[in-house]
Amino acid sequence: MSDLSQLPLAVGHMIGLGALGSCVGIGLMASRYLEASARQPEMMEALQPKVFLLAGLLDGAFIISVALGVWFALAAPFPT
């Protein structure tokens, strides 16, 4: 069995687990933000930019994972 035969499986795992982690992270962060803003509404303006910044960072990690997966699948950067 060649080394490249497992490449689609590895790329699928990389993209799928990256998506799962990003979705779980954003969901937990949003739920904590809603809980905090319900308990202390005066802190909502201070917390909102931090929530959007962290959501962007979590999405960025997923997008980087997708880009690396596509690169591995299409360019085959590993020598055979």
Residue 59: CATH number of its domain: 1.20.20.10
Print the domain residue range for 63. Answer: 7-72
Residue 49: pLDDT over 90: yes
Active-site annotation holds for 3: no
Is residue 1 one of the residues assigned to a domain? no
pLDDT band at 73 (very low <50, low <70, confident <90, very high): confident
Round to whole Å and give the CA distance between 51 and 33. Answer: 7
Is 32 or 18 the better-scoring residue by pLDDT?
32
Is residue 44 one of the residues assigned to a domain? yes
Catalytic, out of 54, 59, 72, 73: 59
pLDDT band at 6 (very low <50, low <70, confident <90, very high): confident
Those residues with Cβ within 8 angstroms of residue 58's Cβ, 6 or more apart along the chain or in another chain: 22, 25, 26, 29
Round to whole Å and give the CA distance between 46 and 57. Answer: 18
